[in-house]
Structure 1
């Protein structure tokens, strides 16, 4: 089985999915292919004329109130802290998502991304801020003096853009988006139970 996880650290639902997808993959003995993206970049292309950073203004208050209940329920279920909305939401996550791309081959993507989620949603600190990113690097054993020049390279910019373009081409419209065996797409934390069923069928058919 091939399992891909397209994600952006600026999304609370992605934080939940990030924590849920790892034990699921371990249970099925499947490696996760982590695919960093910019959810705003996907949104702006899929929804032309609707500005991503103003979309929250269009959500009815009743729906927002229920969303906060949902978030609280997920916090209890997963044992994580999610303040919503955090300061500056939605945050520009481009630097940390480029960093995730560069850290993946080193095996450091997961601890770095997890700390980004914790800092943004648990500690209410902006992950767009260089000083905050530097602290995240310290917490995860990453050399920030190497990282900042590396994420400014054109190759890092192009790689993240390529992930966004690929996600859109394959049908994605948000984060988290998961693919099982390249073509079977699941969107959102609440679809992970459906992904599990698909993985069970896949395993049974082998």
Structure 2
């Protein structure tokens, strides 16, 4: 039976959100769980990444990221305290303590450190705090600085890198890897366990779901295979907002091709993750060989003929057709029984061009940092096709505390 391995660093708030469920999954499925503390700082350094990657993010991306983490915490029944962007080296001594602790005691020490850092907002480089935690668990405080602890931490980190780990938390099950607190349903299915479910609690109000998207994004494709179903299930008005993703990136200061700015390990994981989502949604997917795509014409066409949105997405991300070519777009129009000449005339009219520009500007004003960006009632903004579960809750009336909702925890 394959072991369930969990690579983590207590400096990461998402690791705190995932810890208890990872342990529950192992118990539920009868697998041995191996807790592998690693040095996030060394993971970054070994991949040539800055120690604080978020320092280079656009303001919109930092804002969206922080909201997302706090929303995840709320759904997990947790409240995070302290700065979400702590220096990654702050946890080095804590991680040495964990690496030097015996496997039978590691879980208790790990949870004590998570609690101190994220429930009480304590600094993880507080030597007095670390000594107290060690002593409370019957451990010698000398473990914190022991050469054996440092060696064990380095060995875990090097092994993680060799297996394709690029960040934390990461679950390994056999040859498979999942990164993040938000991929544990995939882990559960792979292990024969059950995905987390929550009963629907609709409040009876009809809401509007706006989808800011661009055919250039595989994540937009994956989301847009599901949003019509989502809107129908929740009796929501669906509004398509085609936007120029490249123009948004340029305006907010994001790399024009974010995936190519990632480390090799993360790029490899990202491609696997896209395929897993496609399998999850039961839709075809093939990363286009024509990347990056120039989708200006396709976006304009979709603005005047929304019925072409799905055929255009399928052409790009299932059939590997090149949407950068006018001839390809014209062929897709003809296949849908429409006249390309008439449609192109309307698509290239000044009012259509202005609409795409306005959508892009509106997305930026709402805090968008990528595609898809999904907006409920013009207020609640969600980034990414992997947040459709949150969108569904919002369509039923959930307003996260970070967005001004009631916090009764």
Secondary structure of the residue that 1:201 maps to in structure 2? coil
Partners of 2:264 and 2:389 in 1: how far apart? 28
Secondary structure of the residue that 2:235 maps to in structure 1? coil
Which ranges in structure 2 are unaligned for 5 or more consecutive residues?
Answer: 1-206, 399-409
Out of 303, 306, 314, which is 1:118 matched to? Answer: 314
Q: 2:236·2:395 contact (CA, 8 Å) conserved in 1?
A: no
Partners of 2:391 and 2:355 in 1: how far apart? 27
Do structure 1's residue 129 and structure 2's residue 335 form an aligned pair? no
Partners of 2:282 and 2:249 in 1: how far apart? 29
Aligned to 1:24: 230
Do structure 1's residue 174 and structure 2's residue 378 form an aligned pair? no
Do structure 1's residue 150 and structure 2's residue 354 form an aligned pair? no
- Where do 1:1-206 residues align within 5 Å? 1-47=207-253, 50-53=254-257, 55-84=258-287, 86-103=288-305, 109=306, 111-201=307-397
Aligned to 2:161: none
Partners of 1:198 and 1:121 in 2: how far apart? 28
Partners of 1:120 and 1:25 in 2: how far apart? 24
Partners of 1:190 and 1:133 in 2: how far apart? 28
Secondary structure of the residue that 1:83 maps to in structure 2? coil
TM-score (norm 1): 0.88
Aligned to 1:106: none
Residues 1:51 and 1:65: Cα distance change in structure 2 (over 3 Å)? closer
Report the CA distance between 1:179 and its aligned residue: 0.9
List per-residue Cα deviations over 1:1-56 (Å, max 9, x = no partner). 12111111111111111112111110111120111111111111111xx5514x43
Report the CA distance between 1:152 and its aligned residue: 2.2
Secondary structure of the residue that 1:186 maps to in structure 2? strand
Larger radius of gyration: 2
List per-residue Cα deviations over 1:57-102 (Å, max 9, x = no partner). 3211100111111111112112222222x12312010001011111
Which ranges in structure 1 are unaligned for 5 or more consecutive residues?
Answer: 104-108
Secondary structure of the residue that 1:127 maps to in structure 2? coil
Q: 2:214·2:372 contact (CA, 8 Å) conserved in 1?
A: yes
Partners of 2:238 and 2:370 in 1: how far apart? 18
Partners of 1:200 and 1:30 in 2: how far apart? 9
Secondary structure of the residue that 1:52 maps to in structure 2? coil
Secondary structure of the residue that 1:174 maps to in structure 2? coil
- How many correspondences in the alignment? 193
Report the CA distance between 1:157 and its aligned residue: 1.3
Secondary structure of the residue that 2:236 maps to in structure 1? coil
Partners of 1:142 and 1:128 in 2: how far apart? 19
Q: 2:375·2:381 contact (CA, 8 Å) conserved in 1?
A: yes
Report the CA distance between 1:189 and its aligned residue: 0.7
Q: 2:250·2:256 contact (CA, 8 Å) conserved in 1?
A: yes
Specify which structure has the higher proportion of helix.
1
Partners of 1:87 and 1:118 in 2: how far apart? 14
